[in-house]
Structure 1
Amino acid sequence: MEASCSTSSSVRRRAPMTCYCNKKPVLVVAWTEDNPGRRFYGCPNYWSIICVSGGRKCRFFQWRDDEICERGKVLIPQQRQRIIKLEAKLVDCKKREKFLVVVVALLVVIFVVLCLLR
C-alpha cells in the first residue's frame, strides 16, 4: 500500500497580532526543499535590507501549517512544476488564439472586398 500524508493534529494557527517591530505579519508560502508549499507568517520587513526596530532586522517567523510529510516534499514540487508548464502552455494557446482571430478577421475583410469588387 502506498504511504500517504496524514497529520494527527492539524491545528489551524491564528495569525499573530504583531511582529517584533509592531507590524502586522503577512502570510507567505515557502518553496524550500524541506517545506514546499508550507505557509508561514513573517514580518513585512523580514526580507528588507533596511534594518528596523532599533537597528536590528525583525526576524519574526511563525509556521501556519503543520510540517509536510516526506511524500509531500516530493509530490508538491513535482505538481508545482507541472502547473507552471501547463500555465505556460495556456499563455501560448491564448497568444495563438488572438493571432488566429486577427487572421480570420483579415480573411473576412479580404473576402468582403473581393465580393464588392465583382
Structure 2
Amino acid sequence: MEASVSSSSSLRRRAPFRCYCGEKPVLVVSWTPENPGRRFYGCINYWVGRKCKFFQWRDDEICEHGKVLIPEQRQRIIRLEAEVARCYRREKFYTVALAFLLVICGICVFNCMGR
C-alpha cells in the first residue's frame, strides 16, 4: 500500500509535458495565505494575457502551523536581505571615501616633499 502512495506522489511531482495550449508549464511559488511557499506548475501564458487554465500542484498541502510560520520566515528573510544590502552600500561608500582620502593625503605629502 505504501508503494502506491509514494508512486502516485512522485508522479504528481514531475512536470507535466505540456499544458492546454501546448506550452511547457513553469514552476511557480504561491504566496497566498492558504498556500504560502507551495509550488505548482502553471502555463506561462496565464501571466501574458492568454488565460490558459492549466494548474497542477507540485508540493503536498501545507499544515496550519506552516501557513503561519512560512510567511513569518519569508518576511524575516526579506528584512535581513535589505539589511545586508544597506551594509554593503555603506561599506562600499566607506571604501570609496577612504580611497579618496588616501589620494588627497598622497597629493599633500607629494606637495610637501616638493618644497
Q: Report the TM-score when normalising by structure 1.
A: 0.83
Q: Which residue of 1 aligns with 2:68?
A: 74
Q: Residues 63-113 of structure 1: CA distance to partner in whole angstroms, max 9, x if unpaired?
A: 000000000000000000000001111111111111001110011111111
2:81 to 76, 79, 87: 87
Matched, 1:116 2:115: no
Larger Rg: 1 or 2?
2
SS in 2 for 1:45: helix
Q: Which residue of 1 aligns with 2:39?
A: 39
Residues 89-98 or 62-71, more deviating:
89-98
1:98 to 86, 92, 97: 92
Identity of aligned residues (%): 63
SS in 2 for 1:111: helix
d(CA) in 1 for partners of 2:48 and 2:101?
54
SS in 2 for 1:32: coil
Q: Residues 27-48 of structure 1: CA distance to partner in whole angstroms, max 9, x if unpaired?
A: 0000000100000000111223
The structure whose residues are more often helix, as a share, is: 2
1:19, distance to aligned residue in structure 2 (A):
0.5
Gapped runs of 5+ residues in structure 1? 1-8, 51-56
d(CA) in 1 for partners of 2:104 and 2:52?
65
d(CA) in 2 for partners of 1:90 and 1:62?
36
Q: Structure 1 segments of 4 or more deviating over 4 A?
A: none
Q: Which residue of 1 aligns with 2:22?
A: 22
SS in 1 for 2:45: coil
Residues 62-71 or 12-21, more deviating:
12-21
